């Protein structure tokens, strides 16, 4: 028996033992302080796509929707006036990549909601909704449900609200986004996240949808405006949360969302979190440069700097798939990367720098520089392979040029297997390597 066979057999044996003893990895986890995070199309996700679709094809497909999201994010930051209703319009949630399990109501009703750090509020499809999927929240089955009246302050925080001139009535509103729209009413109920219960949580209860791009079981906003989870949970979480997004290849509930200061990494490198009063929901950081291998790429400073009046700068976002830089920045990075890798180069979906995988060992590491923090991307976060496995591509792209784009977005693919900590009270963002596959 040769060594390879022994290894294989041992491995099978270990896997067999593990399988027979382990609980079903897709089964509900016991309640604890962490919330599991899974890729939208992971094996345990209710949104699992057809098995024939390889994970890399899915990413290429998902990344093709980034321009719509970038477009949306750009419209947000283009607002010139200080917004009195600092609420995302809901347009952000046409693209969702990671989902968490939450319970709403009393007794709790299970929903798999999309996580979105660039949106404040939560939206949940409710029973009786026209155009929603089969899984909805049933207000009638909850003893803690309460529709909100037009006169409550929260109603004024939702854009596009419409109240009868006579001042009373339910708080109802319509929102539209990328080809779809929905109508909703603002309601309250308790929201259960792992073992924590947030009573009287205000969210949009969706009554009707037209279009196909709303997350089937709702959206959980993790922005930092007034209707956000952080604001509504008051002192429970002290304005702190972190997540670890598992690899897109990962199937199970392995990533985690940690809410509150307890259990966060003790030593984690941090950088300042910037605040743009025009777009208070977005998490801006000071991106100062990039290295490709050992080369610190010269970048045009005007496309790097944070400017609250124009909205320009760099955000960390959980809803965009691949990192997008404004075109002059992306071009500079790409040109340096190409210099160091053997061509010829071809395109694949959003990626314009694909090369024969054999040359992958030549691919330089990409390091993002921020104030006080350098993030050297693991190779799995900077390269993507074609589904045939013959090509490797630089997994970044230019922001779509059809929008007045001033925003750089550090996206999911570049955040895999990192813990990203947001401390909105002390205005810090921390990043540490953590394998959460």
Ligand X SMILES: *[C@@H]1O[C@H](CO)[C@@H](O)[C@H](O)[C@H]1NC(C)=O
Contact 327, 299 (CB under 8 A): no
Rounded CA-CA distance 296/290 in Å is 6
Residues 342-401 that bind ligand X (CB under 6 A): 371
Residue 69 DSSP symbol: H
Identify the residue among 57, 75, 106, 174 touching ligand X (CB under 6 A). 174
Question: Is residue 31 flagged as an active site residue?
Answer: no
The minimum distance between CB 158 and ligand X, in angstroms, equals: 10
Inter-CA distances, 428 with 117, 183, 241, 421, Å: 15, 36, 11, 8
How far from the centroid of its chain's Cα atoms is residue 252's Cα?
17
Q: Tell me: does residue 64 bind ligand X (CB under 6 A).
A: no
Stretch that binds ligand X, among 23-31, 42-50, 166-174, 237-245 (CB under 6 A): 166-174
Identify the residue among 93, 112, 173, 337 touching ligand X (CB under 6 A). 173
Contact 223, 122 (CB under 8 A): no
Site string for ligand X, 230-269 (x = CB under 6 A): ----------------------------------------
Which secondary structure element, helix H or strand E, spans residue 99, and what is its range? strand 98-104
Which secondary structure element, helix H or strand E, spans residue 356, and what is its range? strand 351-356
The minimum distance between CB 269 and ligand X, in angstroms, equals: 16
Rounded CA-CA distance 351/329 in Å is 15
Contact 239, 160 (CB under 8 A): no
Stretch that binds ligand X, among 3-11, 168-176, 319-327, 373-381 (CB under 6 A): 168-176
Question: 235: helix, coil or strand?
Answer: coil
Identify the residue among 140, 143, 168, 309 touching ligand X (CB under 6 A). 140
* From 34, 120, 189, 317, the catalytic residue: 317
The minimum distance between CB 251 and ligand X, in angstroms, equals: 34
Residues in the chain: 437
Q: Tell me: does residue 306 bind ligand X (CB under 6 A).
A: yes
Q: 251 or 424: whose CB is closer to ligand X?
A: 424
Contact 84, 241 (CB under 8 A): no
Determine how many CB atoms are found less than 10 A away from the CB of residue 168: 9
Q: Which residue in this structure is represented by tokens 């079981």?
A: 217
The minimum distance between CB 201 and ligand X, in angstroms, equals: 10
Distance spanning both ends of the chain, measured CA to CA: 33
Q: 112 or 287: whose CB is closer to ligand X?
A: 287
The minimum distance between CB 406 and ligand X, in angstroms, equals: 15
**Cβ within 8 Å of residue 163, ≥6 positions away:** 150, 151, 155, 169, 171
Rounded CA-CA distance 329/289 in Å is 9
Q: 164 or 389: whose CB is closer to ligand X?
A: 164
The minimum distance between CB 139 and ligand X, in angstroms, equals: 7
Question: 335: helix, coil or strand?
Answer: helix
Q: Tell me: does residue 187 bind ligand X (CB under 6 A).
A: no
Identify the residue among 274, 321, 392, 407 touching ligand X (CB under 6 A). 274
* From 34, 56, 116, 352, the catalytic residue: 116
The minimum distance between CB 436 and ligand X, in angstroms, equals: 30
Q: 53 or 307: whose CB is closer to ligand X?
A: 307
Residue 385 DSSP symbol: E
Stretch that binds ligand X, among 41-49, 74-82, 172-180, 396-404 (CB under 6 A): 172-180
Question: Is residue 189 flagged as an active site residue?
Answer: no
Q: 64 or 210: whose CB is closer to ligand X?
A: 210
Q: Tell me: does residue 288 bind ligand X (CB under 6 A).
A: yes
Q: Which residues are catalytic?
A: 116, 317
Would you tell me which residues interact with ligand X (CB under 6 A)?
A: 127-128, 140, 146, 162, 172-174, 183, 199-200, 274, 286, 288, 306, 371
């Amino acid at each position: 028996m040769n060594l390879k066979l022994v290894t294989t057999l041992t491995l099978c044996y270990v896997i067999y033992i593990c399988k027979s003893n382990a609980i079903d990895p897709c089964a509900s986890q016991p309640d604890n302080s962490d919330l599991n995070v899974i890729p939208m199309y992971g094996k345990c996700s209710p949104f699992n796509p057809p098995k024939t679709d390889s994970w890399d094809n899915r990413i290429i497909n998902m990344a093709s929707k980034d321009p719509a999201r970038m477009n949306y994010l750009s419209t947000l930051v283009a607002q010139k006036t200080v917004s009195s209703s600092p609420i995302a319009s809901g347009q952000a949630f046409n693209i969702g990549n990671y989902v968490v399990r939450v319970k709403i109501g009393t007794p709790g009703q299970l929903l798999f909601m999309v996580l979105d750090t660039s949106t404040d509020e939560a939206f949940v499809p409710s029973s009786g909704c026209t155009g929603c999927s089969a899984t909805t929240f049933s207000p009638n089955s909850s003893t803690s449900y309460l529709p909100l009246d037009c006169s409550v302050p929260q109603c004024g925080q939702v854009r596009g609200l419409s109240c009868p001139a006579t001042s009373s009535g339910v708080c109802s509103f319509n929102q539209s986004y990328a080809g779809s729209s929905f109508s909703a009413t603002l309601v309250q109920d308790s929201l259960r996240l792992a073992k924590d219960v947030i009573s009287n949580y205000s969210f949009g209860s969706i009554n009707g949808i037209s279009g196909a791009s709303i997350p089937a079981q709702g959206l959980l906003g993790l922005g930092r405006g007034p209707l956000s989870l952080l604001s509504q949970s008051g002192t429970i979480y002290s304005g702190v949360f972190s997540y670890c997004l598992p690899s897109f290849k990962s199937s199970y509930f392995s990533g985690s969302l940690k809410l509150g200061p307890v259990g966060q990494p003790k030593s984690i490198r941090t950088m300042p979190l910037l605040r743009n009063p025009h777009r208070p929901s977005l998490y801006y950081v000071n991106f100062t440069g990039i290295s490709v291998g050992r080369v610190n790429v010269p970048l045009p400073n005007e496309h790097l700097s944070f400017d609250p009046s124009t909205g320009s700068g760099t955000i960390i976002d959980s809803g965009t798939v691949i990192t997008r830089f404004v075109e002059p920045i992306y071009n500079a990075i790409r040109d340096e990367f190409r210099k160091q890798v053997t061509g010829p180069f071809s395109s694949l979906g959003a990626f314009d720098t694909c090369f024969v995988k054999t040359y992958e060992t030549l691919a330089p590491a990409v390091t993002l520089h921020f104030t006080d923090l350098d993030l050297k991307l693991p190779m799995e976060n900077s390269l993507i392979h074609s589904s045939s496995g013959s090509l490797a591509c630089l997994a970044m792209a230019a922001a779509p040029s059809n929008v007045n784009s001033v925003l750089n977005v550090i996206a999911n693919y570049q955040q895999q297997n990192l813990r990203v900590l947001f401390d909105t009270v002390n205005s810090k963002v921390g990043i540490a390597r953590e394998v959460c596959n």
